[in-house]
Every structure is written in structure tokens, then in C-alpha cells.
Amino acid sequence: MERFEQWLADVTGPATTWLSSINDWVYTWIIIAALVGTGIYLTVATRGVQFRHARTMFSHLRESRKNANGGISSFQAFAMGMATRIGIGNITGVALAMILGGPGALFWMWAVAFFGMATAFAEATLAQIFKQRHGDGSFRGGPATYILYGTGSKALANLFAVFMVFSMIVAMPMVQANSISGVLYGSHNLPLWISGLIIASLTAAVLVGGVRGIARATEYISPIMALAYLFTAVVIIALNMGELPSFFSDVFASAFGLNEALAGTAGGILAAILNGVRRGLFSNEAGMGTNPNAAATATVNHPVSQGLIQSLGVFFDTMLVSTATGFIILTSGVVNLQEVGQEASSHITSDAVSQTLGGWMAVPFSIMIFFFAFSSILGAYAYADANLVFMGLTSRGWQIGSRVVAVACSGIGAVLALPFVWTLMDSAMAVVTLLNLIGVIALSKWVTAALRDYEKQQGESEISFEPANAGLPGRIATDGWVPAP
């Protein structure tokens, strides 16, 4: 197996270098402007929906388990989205961002999330407006659907769907599996190939149940793991409360190049911005076009309800979980960010937790990492499935084939070099993000119209969505809001 792993490293090495150079240019000159610009535009267009409806977001989350009418509940759709949103990006991804960009990368993750909440609201609302009823009574949708039926561009919609399927059954499982194997090897010396076999076997077992099986699994796995991780972080923060001022001071100083000693291995302000934006996008996924696939599956009374809930997920992901990870790493003293390589990102958070709370935490923390990443693989497949349905690839052969690819990539990813899997994911994210943002901006009037309709009904006993009376810019060409026969 060691020869096989070395062969993979030799093969993927040149590809990593080539893709990295392309990614650096694309993220520097295109992705940052597109993400932040779209977030600012939507924040203005919705009159700061992430602020004005902050309380409403929490009230909807409390009620989101109800009224599914036999379909996938709003909470299940939220949990499916959180399965990929809160996970390895908040642990390995944050560590990688800080290694390359210094503590300041965290600040730029916050900036992306701050405006990204408006973007997440918009794309989830659009996914609900243009959702389609599936044969089993559930709903499907996402960027490919709202791009096609909202803008009328079949070519753009199909291009998005193709890249989303690739991202979710190839790149995403590889990243998640790689993070699991890195932690299990670093903390427990478990060979990478054994981790790969375990991950692939469990993935195959759950995928047999399809999207409903994924929804049931992630409904419990994702919230429990997130709460367990946050509890661990709160304990560490409480034990190091005196470090909070210096933590925020270091983050801001590094973000604006005020302290060279706090730079990452890539060095400088640009490195902090680039890595903060990349890892912020992978972590909270606002604008990437992944979570709308989950948002569309929910059975809700109004599209804006799910938009608000999905927007809240960005806050949970970055402002709470990613910040907690950054604090754990910086205050533990277990690592010098300027002296470690990218590979260390797979285990330095685990090392920091063990250093602070004791070696006994290695096992429970590894379990948390495992289920974080595992639930992300499941959630990612649900997104791929939605886009296969969009392209009409619903035969049993396509279903089995896509699951086989997802299982295989989750096993292979465990033994690939860390820089390669993250670079591949960055490339895939760049494409789907740009395609999605084009659709979101083009359809922003649909979002603001739905929001006005929702706000008119606030205070009433029950809020409903009647497309013909909602003041939308046009007619909805899908059947998601047509009563079931």
C-alpha cells in the first residue's frame, strides 16, 4: 500500500502545482470580487435581511420540524445543508487557512460570511420558488433549476449541473475522507488505506437509502456533532478566557499586515485574504450553490421561511464554529503557524484540543471529526442526486453509477496527498460559484418580491405563498407550488 500511496503522490504532484497556479489567479481577480460584490448587492437589495430578520430566523428554526406533510421537513433540509456546511471546513479548513494566511485569514472568513448570509438567503429562497415535485412526492431543485426556469438559459443550467455533480461525488468526498484519514493516522497511527475502506463501506451502506435515508441520517448526526464540538470549544474558551483579547488582536493585526510575526507560511495581507476567502467559501458555502439543493427539498409554507433558515446556517458555521476552531489553535500554543506545512492542518486542531484538555480527548475528538466529514459526504451526494435528476439522469443505472463513484472517491481520497484534494476542490468550487452567482444576481428581483410578500403577511396567524398574488416578476414555470393531485 505504501508503494501505491507514493505512486498517487507522484501522479498528482504536477496536477496540484498546475491547478494551484490557476486557482491563485482566479481567486485573486474574480472569485473575491464576485462573492463580496454579490453579498453587498444582496444586502442592500434586501435592506439588510440578515439583520432585520435575525430574530425571525431563530423562531423559524424552532418551528422547522413541523408541517412536513410526509415530505422532508424544513429542519431536515436545514440539517442536510449543515451536514456539508458545518464540518471539515470548520476544522481542517480553518487550520489550513491559518497556516497559509496567518490568523488574519479568520477575519476574511468573517467578512465573507457577513455578506454571505444575504447570498445564502437569496439562493435558498430562489431554490424554493422554482422547486419541482418529484415522483415520490418529495421536492428537488437548486441553482440549475432556477437558472433554467428563471433566466431561460438551458446551457448555463446544464453546465452548472455537470460541475456540481463532479464537485459533490468526486471532489467533496475526497476532501472529507482525506481529513478523516489524516486525523486517524496522526492521532491513532491508523493506516490511510484502512480509513479509506471504513469510510467507503459506511458511505455505501447509507447511500442505499437514497435522499430520504440521507435526510434521516443527517437530521441527527449533524446537530449532535455540531453541539458536541461547540461544547468542547466553549470549555476551552472558558479555561482560557483571559486569552480572548489577544486572540482578536492577533486576528485583526494579521488581517491587515500590522504584525509580520503573525503572517502565515504564504506571507502577507494577500495570503490572508485569499486563504480566508477560499476556506470561508468551502466552510459556509454561501454563494457556492450547494445548499440551495438542500433548501429546495423542504416542505414549507413560504419560500422566504427556508431562505431565512439557510441564512442562519452561515452564521452558525463561520461566526461560531470556525471562530472557535481559530481560538483553540491560537491559544493552545501547540503549533507555530509559520513553521508547519499544509499537511499539519489535518491534525493540529486535534493536537490543540488534546494539549488543552488532555490526551484522553484524542478518541472523542476523532469521533467528532469522523462524523463531521462522513455527514458531509452524505449531504454532498444528495446535492449530486438533485442535479442528476435535473439532467434527466434518473435511471437505475445512473443512480447506481453515481453512488459507486461517490463511494470509490471517498475511499481513494483517504490516501491522496492533502494539497491535491484541496486544490481540486478549490477548482471545482470556483466554477460552480461563478455560475451560481450569475443566476442569483439575474434573479434578485424574484428574491426581493418574495421577501416583500412575506413581510406583508408577518403578524398573521399563518403565512402562505400564492405565486399569482405574490408580486413576482413573472410566472413560475415549475410545479413545486402547484397543489399535489
Q: List, in order, residues 6 or more apart from 23 with CB less than 8 Å away.
A: 278, 423, 426, 427, 430
Query: Is 275 contained in some domain?
Result: yes
- Which three three-digit cell numbers place residue 267? 506571507
Mean pLDDT score across all residues of the chain: 83
H or E segment and range at residue 427: helix 418-442
Residue 348 has pLDDT above 80, yes or no: yes
Pair 96, 345: CB distance under 8 Å: yes
pLDDT band for position 445 (50/70/90)?
very high
Query: Is 204 contained in some domain?
Result: yes
> With the CA atoms of 103, 375, 381 and 323 taken in that order, what torsion angle do they form, in degrees rounded to the nearest 10?
-20
For 481, the 3-state DSSP assignment is: coil
Instruction: Give the CA count within 13 Å in the CB-facing half-sphere of 155.
Output: 0
The residue to which cell 435592506 is assigned? 47
For 465, the 3-state DSSP assignment is: coil
Which range of residues forms the domain containing residue 124? Answer: 2-452
> With the CA atoms of 99, 107, 295 and 406 taken in that order, what torsion angle do they form, in degrees rounded to the nearest 10?
-10
Q: Which amino acid is at 322?
A: S
Helices (H), 333-459: 348-357, 362-390, 396-412, 418-442, 444-457
Query: Is 91 contained in some domain?
Result: yes
pLDDT of 85: 65
Q: What are phi and psi of 37, to 5 degrees?
A: -60, -45
Query: Is 475 contained in some domain?
Result: no
Select the more confidently predicted residue: 240 or 221.
240
- CATH code where residue 194 lies: 1.20.1740.10
- Which three three-digit cell numbers place residue 33? 470580487
Residue 264 has pLDDT above 60, yes or no: no
Query: Is 342 contained in some domain?
Result: yes
Query: Is 470 contained in some domain?
Result: no
* pLDDT tens-digit series, residues 279-334: 777 677 888 888 888 888 888 889 998 899 889 888 888 888 888 888 888 887 76
Select the more confidently predicted residue: 341 or 366.
366
* pLDDT tens-digit series, residues 90-115: 788 888 888 888 888 889 889 888 89
Domain count, the chain: 1
* pLDDT tens-digit series, residues 20-77: 888 888 887 888 889 889 999 999 999 999 999 988 888 777 665 555 554 566 666 6
Query: Is 28 contained in some domain?
Result: yes
pLDDT band for position 262 (50/70/90)?
low
Query: Is 368 contained in some domain?
Result: yes
Pair 215, 295: CB distance under 8 Å: no
pLDDT of 71: 57
- Which three three-digit cell numbers place residue 221? 448526526
Q: Poorest-confidence range of 4-8, 169-173, 423-427, 456-460?
A: 4-8
